[in-house]
Amino acid sequence: MKPELKTLREQMVRAARRAYESGLQSGNGGNLSARAPGEQIILIKPSGTSFGEITEENLVAVDFEGRVVEGSGRPSRELQTHLEIYRLRSDVHGILHSHSPWAIACGELFGELPLHAFHARDKVGEIPILHIEGHANEQVVEGVRALLQENPNVRAFIQSKHGIFAMAESIITAEHHAELVEETAQVAWLVRGGCVR
């Protein structure tokens, strides 16, 4: 294990455990990654591993060409989507993707997630919804590229039928953004259902 990646690995484990324990992601779905400071290297969740099972040792280090440079696991199938975000956004150092139910439900209803709460507007801002079929394929990578070129400062988006992609300057903050997107989606659903007059 490279010593300079030690802190990043610790943060990845913390973010993954919080996402799992809060119910943001169940089972072995979803993924998260973090960019190593000053390097063209990311750490990413291994494929088929639950957020609750992530350890510092089983994270996979991958270069920007998608080659595994450290670790014995297979990187998440969403690797190319993560790499595309990092290529386009030098300010992003952490990405969390979760198959969160309220966000997926709202992805069927809206073109952009309504921001009913002040704190959602302040902390995350606009949350576009990417309406595209499939997942973890080139079509999605192209769709994410177009979305980020159109919305260069976006902190999170929802892919319809698939879930949240939250981005931030650290993986800890990205996880917090993902939680806030899921909360915002729940509020939007309740407002649409007539619970608020």
pLDDT score of 104: 95
Percentage of residues in the chain having pLDDT higher than 70: 96
**Domain assignment of residue 33, yes or no:** yes
**Domain assignment of residue 57, yes or no:** yes
Helix (H) or strand (E) segment spanning residue 79 = helix 79-88
What tokens appear for 140 in the block?
A: 């999605």
Residue 3 pLDDT class (50, 70, 90 cuts): low
Strand order in the sheet with 60-63: 68-70, 60-63, 41-44, 31-35, 94-98, 163-168, 156-159, 129-130
Q: What range does the domain containing 174 cover?
A: 3-192
CATH number at residue 148: 3.40.225.10
List C-alpha distances in Å: 80 to 33, 63, 178: 11, 11, 20
Number of domains in the chain: 1
**Domain assignment of residue 81, yes or no:** yes
pLDDT in tens, 95-127: 999 999 999 999 999 999 999 999 999 999 999
Spatial distance between the Cα atoms of 131 and 173, rounded to a whole number of angstroms: 25
Which residue matches tokens 């484990």? Answer: 13
**Domain assignment of residue 197, yes or no:** no
Average pLDDT value for residue range 10-32: 94
pLDDT score of 195: 54
In the chain, DSSP assigns E strands to 31-35, 41-44, 60-63, 68-70, 94-98, 129-130, 156-159, 163-168
**HSE-CB of 65 using CA atoms within 13 angstroms:** 3
Classify residue 136 as left (phi > 0), alpha (psi -120 to 50) or beta.
left
pLDDT in tens, 38-91: 889 999 999 999 999 999 999 999 999 999 998 888 999 999 999 999 999 999
**Domain assignment of residue 59, yes or no:** yes
Contact 177, 98 (CB under 8 A): no
Helix (H) or strand (E) segment spanning residue 147 = helix 138-150
**Domain assignment of residue 128, yes or no:** yes
Q: Torsions phi, psi of 100, nearest 5?
A: -80, 130
Residue 197 pLDDT class (50, 70, 90 cuts): very low
